[in-house]
C-alpha cells in the first residue's frame, strides 16, 4: 500500500451533514397505533424530502438509522442547506394538513428536528453522531415543540452552532434568516451536554420562543387567571374530509397546487 494511502487516526475525516428527527410522544401511542403512525410519518417525511429537492437523499442516504420514533440520516455536506430551508417549512405544512384530516382517535404528529455538521468516517461513528442526537433530545428542542403546539405549529428545528453558521449566517437559505432563530443553550443534563444552538419554529417568532414557560394551570382547559377557557381546536371550514390513519397519501395529494407562503406562518 502506498504510504500516502495508509489510514491514520490523526487524519480528519470528511465533514458530513447530520439530520435527526423524532416524533413527539410516539411512545405514548397505543401499540396497535404505532405501525400505521410510523408508516404515515415516513410517508410525510418522504414527501417533505422530495418537495425540498432531497428525494434521492431520502431514498438512498449515505447513512440511515431507524430510532423507533424517528430516523438519523447522514448526507453530503453540500446538501445540508436544504435540510433547513425549505425542508422544515415543507414538513410543517404537510403535518398541518395531516392534523386537519386525521380522525380524533388517531394520534397527532409533531416533530423535533436537529441538523448538525462534523467530521465523520464512512462508517459514521464519532462524536458528531452523538451530538446531533443530544441536540434533538435537549431541553431546548423539547421546549420548542411544546411552544409549537401552543401556537398551532408542528415542527421545531434546533440547529447546532456549526450548522447555523454554515447554512444561515453564510446566506445559503432561501427564506430563513438569522432573525428567524433564537439562540439557546441545548442541554441534556444527565449526559453532561451543553452547547449553543439555534431554535426555529415555523410561525413562531424568536421573541415568543424566548418567553418563559407558563406554570401549568389547575384546569387544563383554562387559560391564565381572569381569561376565558381556551376553546378546543377545530378544523377550518372547507378542510378536506377526514381519513383513517394510514391514508397519508390523501395529505400529499391535497398539498398539490397549494401555495407556499412563508408569511402565512407569521414570519416577518
pLDDT digits (tens, 9 = 90+) for 127-171: 999 999 999 999 999 999 999 999 999 999 999 999 999 999 999
Mean pLDDT, rounded, for 202-206: 98
Q: Is the pLDDT of residue 230 over 50?
A: no
In whole angstroms, what is the distance from residue 99 CA to residue 240 CA?
11
Report the b/e string of 111-121 with b at 16+ CB within 10 A: bbbbbbbbebe
249 assigned to some structural domain:
no
Weakest mean pLDDT among 15-24, 99-108, 177-186: 99-108
Task: Give the whole-number percent of the chain exceeding pLDDT 90.
Answer: 70
63 assigned to some structural domain:
yes
pLDDT band at 107 (very low <50, low <70, confident <90, very high): confident
Q: How far lies 265's CA from each of 96, 115, 152, 171, in Å?
A: 11, 22, 10, 21
25 assigned to some structural domain:
yes
238 assigned to some structural domain:
no
Q: Look up cell 420548542; give the residue.
A: 144
Q: First CA to last CA across the chain, in angstroms?
A: 58
Helix (H, G, I), strand (E, B) or coil at 196: strand
pLDDT band at 267 (very low <50, low <70, confident <90, very high): very low
230 assigned to some structural domain:
no
Report pLDDT for 168: 98
**pTM score > 0.85 for this model?**
no
Report pLDDT for 252: 53
Structural domain of residue 197, as residue ranges? 14-211
pLDDT in tens, 89-99: 999 999 999 99
50 assigned to some structural domain:
yes
Report pLDDT for 60: 95
CATH of residue 186? 3.30.70.1230
Report pLDDT for 4: 54
The number of distinct structural domains making up the chain is: 1
128 assigned to some structural domain:
yes
43 assigned to some structural domain:
yes
Decide the pairing of beta strands 63-66 and 193-200: unpaired
Q: What is the mean pLDDT of the chain?
A: 83
Amino acid at each position: 500500500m502506498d504510504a500516502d494511502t495508509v489510514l491514520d487516526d490523526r487524519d480528519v475525516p470528511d465533514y458530513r451533514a447530520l439530520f435527526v428527527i423524532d416524533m413527539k410522544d410516539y411512545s405514548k401511542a397505543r401499540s396497535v397505533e404505532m405501525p400505521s403512525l410510523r408508516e404515515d410519518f415516513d410517508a410525510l417525511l418522504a414527501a417533505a424530502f422530495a418537495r425540498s429537492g432531497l428525494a434521492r437523499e431520502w431514498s438512498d442516504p449515505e447513512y440511515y438509522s431507524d430510532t423507533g420514533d424517528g430516523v438519523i440520516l447522514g448526507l453530503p455536506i453540500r446538501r445540508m442547506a436544504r435540510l433547513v430551508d425549505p425542508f422544515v417549512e415543507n414538513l410543517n405544512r404537510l403535518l398541518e394538513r395531516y392534523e386537519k384530516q386525521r380522525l380524533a382517535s388517531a394520534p397527532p404528529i409533531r416533530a423535533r428536528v436537529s441538523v448538525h455538521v462534523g467530521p465523520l468516517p464512512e462508517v459514521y461513528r464519532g462524536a458528531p453522531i452523538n451530538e446531533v442526537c443530544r441536540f434533538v433530545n435537549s431541553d431546548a428542542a423539547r421546549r420548542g415543540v411544546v411552544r409549537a403546539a401552543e401556537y398551532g405549529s408542528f415542527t421545531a428545528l434546533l440547529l447546532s452552532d456549526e450548522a447555523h453558521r454554515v447554512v444561515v449566517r453564510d446566506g445559503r437559505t432561501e427564506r430563513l434568516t438569522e432573525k428567524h432563530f433564537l439562540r439557546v443553550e441545548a442541554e441534556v443534563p444527565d449526559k453532561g451536554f451543553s452547547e449553543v444552538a439555534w431554535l426555529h419554529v415555523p410561525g413562531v417568532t424568536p421573541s415568543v420562543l424566548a418567553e418563559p414557560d407558563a406554570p401549568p394551570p389547575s384546569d387544563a382547559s383554562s387559560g391564565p387567571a381572569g381569561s376565558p377557557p381556551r376553546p378546543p381546536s377545530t378544523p377550518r371550514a372547507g378542510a378536506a374530509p377526514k381519513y383513517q390513519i394510514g391514508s397519508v397519501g390523501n395529505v400529499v395529494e391535497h398539498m398539490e397546487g397549494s401555495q407556499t407562503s412563508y408569511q402565512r406562518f407569521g414570519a416577518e
